[in-house]
Structure 1
Amino acid sequence: MSSSRQLPQGAHPRHGLDEVIHAPVRFSIVATLAAADKAEFAFVRDTVEVSDSVLSRQVSTLEKAGYVAVTKGYVGKRPRTWLALTSDGRSAFAAHCQALRAIAEGMG
């Protein structure tokens, strides 16, 4: 059976998925950060519903990829950690979401 929308070899939208972002917890972290300029570690942890250690490991992976910037500081005398998507992270997330939409809409 032949389709009139045959794509060249390697053109399936899945090739646009970002393996770093694709993992469910990392995808959730990036989606949470995409909605803000920055977010406190505890807010992201609670929003994504993971433990401190799981979030820390996943953020390390995103940071190594250049997608997340980690900033440490204090609020009063209490240490705080803020997370923010880098411009590369925002671009990668947008491209990943575009690939997901293309797959979901049957363009592949």
Structure 2
Amino acid sequence: MTRPGPGTHPRHGLDEVIHAPVRFSVMAALAAADKAEFAFVRDTVEVSDSVLSRQVATLEKAGYVAVTKGYVGKRPRTWLALTADGRATFAAHCDALRAIAGGDVAGG
């Protein structure tokens, strides 16, 4: 039996930043839209404001999520959007998960 060389398993395509369940869920919610309001993402992912804020800060620091603040009327609002790098990283992460689930140990 031939074993794959180092670094060929699809798990090497996983991104440690977005692999955490809440961050992965945030990325998935944002992947479906150009941008989303903070409250919508919070409710979709089913977390508190503080939990979402911490996870978004991590994703923003990694360059995966852009945060925009503004107003709707007199009410402050925060919108979240995936950056181009965030979209590409999320797509690659999902490809790696599919390869692992499908047993594609050669990575492609």
Q: CA RMSD in A?
A: 0.8
Gaps of 5+ in 1: none
In structure 1, C-alpha distance between the alignment counterparts of 2:6 and 2:23, rounded to whole Å = 29
In structure 2, the residue matched to 1:54 is 51
2:44 aligned with 1:9: no
In structure 2, the residue matched to 1:106 is 103
Q: What's the TM-score once normalised by structure 1's chain length? A: 0.95
In structure 2, the residue matched to 1:97 is 94
In structure 1, the residue matched to 2:30 is 33
In structure 1, C-alpha distance between the alignment counterparts of 2:63 and 2:46, rounded to whole Å = 23
SS in 2 for 1:9: coil
SS in 1 for 2:5: coil
For residues 48-89 of structure 1, give each alpha carbon's deviation from its aligned partner in whole angstroms, at most 9, with x where no partner exists: 000000000000000000000000000000000000000000
Q: Which runs of 4 or more aligned residues in structure 1 lie more than 3 Å from their structure 2 counterparts after TM superposition?
A: none
SS in 2 for 1:82: strand
Stretch of structure 1 that moved more, 7-16 or 18-27: 7-16
Q: What's the TM-score once normalised by structure 2's chain length? A: 0.95
SS in 2 for 1:94: helix
The residue type paired with residue 69 of structure 2 is K
Q: Percent identity?
A: 83
Gaps of 5+ in 2: none
